[in-house]
Amino acid sequence: MAKSLQGIIEAIKPLDEAAMQAARQRQDELTKPQGALGRMEELSIQIAGITGNPRPRIKDKAIIVMAADHGVVASGVSLYPQEVTAQMMHGFLAGTAGINVLTRHIGARVVAVDMGVIGGFEPRPDLICKMIDFGTKDMTQGPAMTRQQAIDAIESGIDVIEAEITKGLNIVGTGDMGIGNTTASAAICASITGTPVAQVTGRGTGLGDDQLSDKIKMIESALEMNKPDSKDAIDVLAKVGGFEIGGLAGVILGAAANRIPVVIDGFISGAAALIAATLCPQATAYMIAGHQSVEIGHLVMYDHMGLEPLLKLNMRLGEGTGAALAISIAEASCKILDEMFTFAEAEVAGADKDVR
């Protein structure tokens, strides 16, 4: 394991219990029945523990969207041609994609990162190039990437998040783009959680029954051929993963090391979270499960990590769209904690807890 990755893992500490206790006490004293705001109260307390601030404020928000291509597409696991990855990236950069609409809605910035899109892009200031290679290899024929490439992908993600922190960042969401990446994510999920492939593999972009059956068989074949070590996250990433998945795992670890809450988006982001959590179980405390995708393996991932999604909207777009919506809820929960008056501050009669 590279020194910088090891250093980031070692920098991830437990949540700040004192900040959480102070936030919990304030929540109990706000002008409402205790627990009346449910998950929002729990979320604000978690964010207090993450940041070390009993009254955290969320101002600077970003969705980091990482893109890469997958060699397994050659085996026919997607309805869309591989060039759609690059075409969608152009949409992100033009500000016309779903994630652009939602980030404008919540006042966040989109950070677009090329982790390995076939053909690449002309240099431009609004695109970060962290290309590992022009897409992964076909995992049904051998490992998707080398072990060093897997490490490089994770460390690239760490570089991206740390650069964004210097610009101002209070919360970050993960986003993805990559034709074929639900196949890689299902393979990662099956490997790390030990769940049968058929129970974690969905229809992706809309596969029919026969195509889904073929997809399941391809993943089973890839796992049998490559035999990833479920206890070694880097081995799993190298054998059946994707460059954008590795990059997002680095974003998650980097955020945790810097005490920044990270909101997990959909199935692909969930695969990245599994990689990060396997490398450093403590990192899960810094994760907020944004939403539950219709991909059947997504809830398996969350259950394995002990996370509960904030939203269930039957979404499966990716891009960070679910994370953007969840960031809005996270911001609202912190505003409640910080801006709502306590009974004492509001001079409301009957402030005694026993009366309430």
Question: Strand pairing of 109-116 and 262-264?
Answer: unpaired
In the chain the beta strands, taken as DSSP E runs, fall at: 61-68, 109-116, 127-129, 171-177, 262-264, 287-289
- Three-class SS of residue 132? coil
Torsion of CA 264, 120, 153, 84, to 10 degrees: 40
**Alpha-carbon distances, residue 258 vs 68, 97, 307 (angstroms):** 26, 29, 20
What are residue 298's DSSP bridge partners? none
Neighbours of 221 (CB within 10 A): 15
Sequence letter at residue 101:
V
CA atoms within 13 A on the CB side of 34: 12
Q: DSSP letter string over 205-234?
A: TT--HHHHHHHHHHHHHHHHHH---TT-HH
Characterize 88-100 residue by residue with b for buried, 16 or more Cβ atoms within 10 angstroms of its Cβ, and e for exposed: bbebbbeeebbbb
**Residues acting as catalytic residues:** 319
Nearest of 273, 330, 333, 264 to residue 292 by alpha carbon: 264
**Alpha-carbon distances, residue 42 vs 149, 308, 334 (angstroms):** 38, 12, 10
